[in-house]
A and B are shown apart, each in its own frame.
Chain A
Amino acid sequence: MEVFLQTLVAGILKGGLYGLIGIGMTLIMGVMGIINLAHGQLMMVGMYITFVCFHYLGIDPYFALLVSMPALFLLGVAIQKYTLNPLIEVESILPENQVLMTVGIGMVLTEVARFIFSSDYKSVQTSYSSSSFFIGEISFSLALTIAFFIAVAFTLFMFWFLLRTDLGRSIRATAQDKDAALLMGVNAQRITILTFGIGSALVAAAGTLLMPIYYLFPDIGGPFTRKAFVITILGGLGSTVGAIFGGLTLGLAEAFGATYIGMAFDDMIGLVIFILVLIFLPSGFKRITKV
């Protein structure tokens, strides 16, 4: 029972961060209709920024959020504005090829990181990296718990933003019917740029929050892109609430898989759930949550 609860806690804490990764991807999916296959690589860039901030400037990872998020926002804006949007305007290039472009961007980011930082593993060792506290018999990793609550705060803020502000509504409107949004005066191109920026900033936040407990190397982006993809599909493409459920599901699946099946299998568990969802619940959790 203790092991079970311990696993549950670990899964939920991790799931909160996964939700944050998934929301960024699902927003981009909703507005542009494409899967951003550079999502994990953007997170990797955010992690390296955190690493540099900590290592060379002595900035605590939680304060590094103030650097990594704006930096990735700008990187996301630049990617959308100068590489993805121009593709839509060229008639001989199918708009779907934006996906291929994101693959290329992911590769470039990875290799640039390798060029600068080499392939060595890096980590950020803070005073609290390995500290934990206990509630009853269950141990909570301090860094992961803080990360979870910051992730939840960002998630709640995103909901407020999407549901209660004109800009947030414009993002949702563009995702639902782009032409109608144009007719209502929404500058759809600006919305796509902004959305990519926000999605990148959110995944950077997740990367920064993971840094105190994770190690970092240039190829870490690929596995996280895969995770983000699974989360987005689990949630039902383009659904924000779904992305949170998707994130939690993946976090729990990985935690239980690691505990009861074996550490080496945690990636496999996620993909098995992914396949099961595709077969039995093709529209993801969106079918259940309706949002």
Chain B
Amino acid sequence: MLEVKEIDVFYGDLQVLWDVTFEVRRREIVVLIGANGAGKSTTIRTISSLLNPRRGTILFQGERLDLLPPHGIIERGVVHVPEGRRLFSEMSVEENLVMGSLYGEAKTKRRDTLRHVYELFPRLLERRKQMAGTLSGGEQQMLAIGRGLMSLPHLMMFDEPSLGLAPILVQEIFGMIRRINGEGVTILLVEQNVHQTLAMCDRAYALENGRIVLSGTGEELSANEHVREAYLGI
């Protein structure tokens, strides 16, 4: 479904990704693990066209995403739930959700999707008139996910959705991601919370210093000597 092929990405003159290649198949949950600064967020931001690869291609359902402007990505059914939620803090919860459905089918089905998102996250319905900036961290993450769902995505990319949340909320968010996947949405997840994500994913890739160093199923990576040492601290 998504094929990232041999991309090199630079910030100015500084190269941060080398020859990164991976794929996400339909209905999978794929995880990118890696330490801080390994290039996980950069990879997702490049798929979202916020950054352009200097070499390589990104294909989604056969179409070149790397040639599209940032605002063209979501119209193709790829949505990015960014690190740190990045909500519109001076807009109400409902306005934030509406912002996720600006185009095409998502716009015509806005009402139905809104109802669906409120069913998934009853807390958001309770607070629909409240400014997004006044929500708690967990609620903000729910809103960020809800806003992503409003675009009726085929592929959802999550950048560190568990960051800064209490363990019980992390469970809830991961549960929600699995549920969304169960509804037919393909998932690409970037996480530092390696232990839990490897347990819930279909396949995983490990990024180190801007290169893919390992790939395999969740179990394979959990069992891998290097992963156990470097990420799981065992």
Of the stretches B98-106, B195-203, B223-231, the one at the interface is B98-106
Inter-subunit contact B95/A179 (CB<8 Å): no
Residues from chain A with a CB closer than 8 A to the CB of B90 are: 172, 176, 291
Residues from chain A with a CB closer than 8 A to the CB of B138 are: none
Inter-subunit contact B48/A183 (CB<8 Å): yes
Q: A180 CA to B72 CA in the complex, in Å?
A: 14
Q: A185 CA to B151 CA in the complex, in Å?
A: 9
Which of A179, A184, A187, A291 meets B99, CB within 8 Å?
A184
Residues from chain B with a CB closer than 8 A to the CB of A187 are: 69, 71
Residues on B lying within 8 angstroms of A by beta carbon are 48, 50, 69-75, 79-80, 82, 86-91, 95, 98-100, 102-103, 107, 147, 151
| Chain A 160-190 interface 0/1 with B at a Cβ cutoff of 8 Å (1 = within) | 0000001001101100110111111111100
Q: A187 CA to B95 CA in the complex, in Å?
A: 18
Inter-subunit contact A183/B91 (CB<8 Å): no
Inter-subunit contact B99/A169 (CB<8 Å): yes
Task: From known contacts A173-B99, A177-B86, A180-B82, infer whether A186 and B91 are also in contact, taking CB-CB under 8 Å.
Answer: no
Q: A188 CA to B95 CA in the complex, in Å?
A: 18
How far, in Å, is A194 (CB) from chain B's closest CB? 14
Which of B48, B69, B91 meets A173, CB within 8 Å?
B91
Inter-subunit contact A180/B88 (CB<8 Å): yes
Q: A251 CA to B67 CA in the complex, in Å?
A: 51
Instruction: Specify the chain B residue showing the minimal Cβ separation from A183.
Output: B80
Inter-subunit contact B86/A183 (CB<8 Å): yes
Residues from chain A with a CB closer than 8 A to the CB of B69 are: 187
Residues from chain B with a CB closer than 8 A to the CB of A186 are: 71, 99, 102
Q: A8 CA to B88 CA in the complex, in Å?
A: 38
Residues from chain B with a CB closer than 8 A to the CB of A179 are: 50, 82, 86
Residues from chain B with a CB closer than 8 A to the CB of A177 are: 86-89
Which of A169, A182, A185 meets B75, CB within 8 Å?
A185
Task: From known contacts A183-B70, A183-B74, A184-B147, infer whether A172 and B91 are also in contact, taking CB-CB under 8 Å.
Answer: yes
